[in-house]
Amino acid sequence: MLIDLRSDTVTRPTPSMREAMAAAAVGDDVYGEDPTVNELEEFTASLLGKAAGLFVPSGTQSNLCALLAHCERGDEYIVGQTAHTYKYEAGGAAVLGSIQPQPLRLDRAGQFDLAEVEAAIKPPDTHFANTVLLALENTKDGHVLDPQYVADAAALARRRDLRLHLDGARLWNAAAAAATDIAALAEPFDTVSVCLSKGLGAPVGSVLVGDAARVASARRWRKMLGGGMRQAGILAAACRHALDHHRDRLVDDHRRAEELAASLQDCPGIHAVIHATNMVFVTLDNSIDPTQLAEQMRKEGVHITPGRTLRLVTHLDITDADLDQARTAFATVLQSL
Ligand SMILES: *Cc1c(COP(=O)(O)O)cnc(C)c1O
């Protein structure tokens, strides 16, 4: 099997995860009767220090349910120009919610200039959409947000009467990297979306957490969006297994990404290498043809997405031996191009 460094979404359920799925107690979750889903929602909410949780099929739907629960038609949310909730969710908030995004620039660390955020908040005026929400993302391109920045952003939001949503698809990685309790990272936010299907290795699933009223509203939106699933405990069992068994090992993914970054520094044909949590970004010299590199790497058993800047991601299915093979493959192929 190819060593797949394209994303941490490519993981396959482990044998013990599949056993947990097969053994899951289930019921009809639209009736609120799936015990495994109910437990997952409660457990995830408690881990994140929130009152309630909602199990959803994807992070995209989780973020969309949150945006719909926070914003009315004609409201506006402030979001990063390169944030998932703006750029990579097919414009769902605008298309399905009549919610206007106000995208703003994020720096390399995934952070707004808070003065720009403040300036973008529209005063009450019939000309303007109502700015009601600020959306952050942690991690962003693998970067863990600076806690002081998050505190400052939250203070600004409170002062200007905005609510706060966090796209925490990889907040588990942020908690592991910072060796902090994930609840502390979630604390400033009204709602937080977390993915179980990335580095944690579940096949499907995200959870949206927040206070009971907001989550109840999001539950109604989930139904409208077609995300009300029936015997979903089979999936929730995989997510619970991931939470119980795969959180502590995220630091291994981070170490492997760091090792990969270190060996790439020394390879020819490389312009820049950035490492952050489980991601490595490699910018190639103009002399390297990215498609040719990807093809040659594939012959060496390594799957990458071609690009002038490569994103390489470590995850549950990448072992130390796989990593060694990938490092050797990069060194050999880059030498030959
Ligand atoms: C993966 C991801 C999501 C959600 O993605 P789905 O594929 O819909 O589960 C949201 N935000 C970020 C930052 C992500 O990386």
**What letter represents residue 317's amino acid?**
D
pLDDT of residue 218: 98
- Find the DSSP H helices in the chain: 15-22, 35-47, 59-70, 84-87, 92-97, 114-120, 147-159, 171-178, 182-186, 212-224, 233-245, 250-265, 290-299, 320-336
CA–CA dist 65, 97 (Å, integer): 10
Determine the distance separating the centroid of ligand 1 and the alpha carbon of 59, expressed in angstroms: 5
Residues of the chain predicted below pLDDT 50: none
CB of 318 shorter than 6 A to ligand 1: no
Contact 114, 155 (CB under 8 A): no
Q: Which of 11, 63, 84 to mutate to test the pocket of ligand 1 (most atoms within 8 A of CB)?
A: 84
Nearest CA to ligand 1 atom 4: 59
CB of 59 shorter than 6 A to ligand 1: yes
pLDDT of residue 312: 98
Determine the distance separating the centroid of ligand 1 and the alpha carbon of 168, expressed in angstroms: 9
pLDDT of residue 37: 98
Phi, psi (degrees; rounded to nearest 5) at 271: -90, -45
The minimum-distance atom of ligand 1 relative to the CA of 137 is 13
CB of 60 shorter than 6 A to ligand 1: yes
pLDDT of residue 173: 98
pLDDT of residue 255: 98
CB of 195 shorter than 6 A to ligand 1: yes
pLDDT of residue 79: 98
Contact 247, 182 (CB under 8 A): no
CA–CA dist 196, 273 (Å, integer): 28
Q: Which of 62, 145, 167 to mutate to test the pocket of ligand 1 (most atoms within 8 A of CB)?
A: 167
Contact 192, 308 (CB under 8 A): no
Determine the distance separating the centroid of ligand 1 and the alpha carbon of 201, expressed in angstroms: 14
CB of 203 shorter than 6 A to ligand 1: no
pLDDT of residue 27: 98
Nearest CA to ligand 1 atom 15: 169
Q: What are the tokens at 201? A: 């290795």
Nearest CA to ligand 1 atom 6: 59
Determine the distance separating the centroid of ligand 1 and the alpha carbon of 37, expressed in angstroms: 20
Determine the distance separating the centroid of ligand 1 and the alpha carbon of 250, expressed in angstroms: 17
pLDDT of residue 316: 97
